[in-house]
Amino acid sequence: MTAVKMDGKELAAKVREGVAREVAELGHVGLATVLVGDDEASHVYIAAKHKAATEAGIDARDVRLPADTSEGDVLALIDRLNNDSEVDGILVQLPLPSHMSETKVTYAVSPAKDVDGFHPLNAGNLYLGTPIHVPATPSGCMELLHAYGIDPSGKEAVVIGRSEIVGRPMAMLLMHANATVTVCHSRTADLAVHVRRADIVVAAVGRPGIVTADMIKPGAACLDVGLTRTEEGIRGDIDASVERVAGFLTPMPGGTGPMTIAMLLQSTLKAARYRRSLLAFPGS
């Protein structure tokens, strides 16, 4: 058995094409990104997001601030962006410098413009099963499952990782799709015991090769989110040997990563529809 490759690049291209068509119909759609400091990986991620946004016809505003910028100045900037009618979506690139509260800064973004889905209102609506803006990576994972005909309903799903960005929202999305969900993390006593039950595995802890072939139920769908740069190159949380056992497997790279950017663009488009009152934003 060799796992079917879940091609995130191909699916992301289709999503981005759809976004581009709808952006052209709407006219102006604006995305502002805020990057504070000199984190090398963050600069790479922002560049990729801006390239994709521009190609989709989105007006991408690139705001970069030095690492010693005060928290107050960043909050003031976000307030201006919240009130800027040309900006539909706002993304604050993490991590922020250590002298800032990431919670305080991300929560300052208007919920309607919070394309990352980090604001408590957006997180709360996801919890309640009425999602508004949802973090892009879990959204992309769900799109991949759908594209490959994998229905979570009635299946056992294991999410490895409990971050607010991937693990927790991923668990919520799978639960709302009627999967039976187990969330594993650094304190899980025997990871393999849980993973072996799973029809769907989502690995998102950033520990290269933590999921091995002997842990996988034959035919399971495995989605690898945990990109890590090593001396041997980019590695995921799922070991390459899993390909011999799994039914479906996202490649690393080229699996969940491209979908993350595509879903960010889709979220920005949704934010533009909220601003034009084409969609009713809760509480508005």
DSSP letter (8 states) at residue 33 = E
DSSP letter (8 states) at residue 97 = P
In this structure, the strands spanning 200-203 and 180-184 are: unpaired
Which residues 6+ apart lie within 8 Å of 41 measured at CB? none
Which residues are designated catalytic? 49, 93, 116
Q: Which is nearest to 255 in space by CA: 229, 235, 233, 270?
A: 235
CA distance linking residue 48 with residue 237, whole number of Å: 22
Question: What does each C-alpha distance from 59 to 26, 49, 86, 89, 212 come to in angstroms?
Answer: 12, 12, 9, 10, 43
Give the position of tokens 């068509």: 21
Handedness of CA 184, 93, 125, 12 (dihedral sign): negative
CA angle 117/123/129 to nearest 5° reads 110
User: SS3 of 42, please?
Assistant: helix
> Residue 16: which H helix or E strand, with range?
helix 8-26
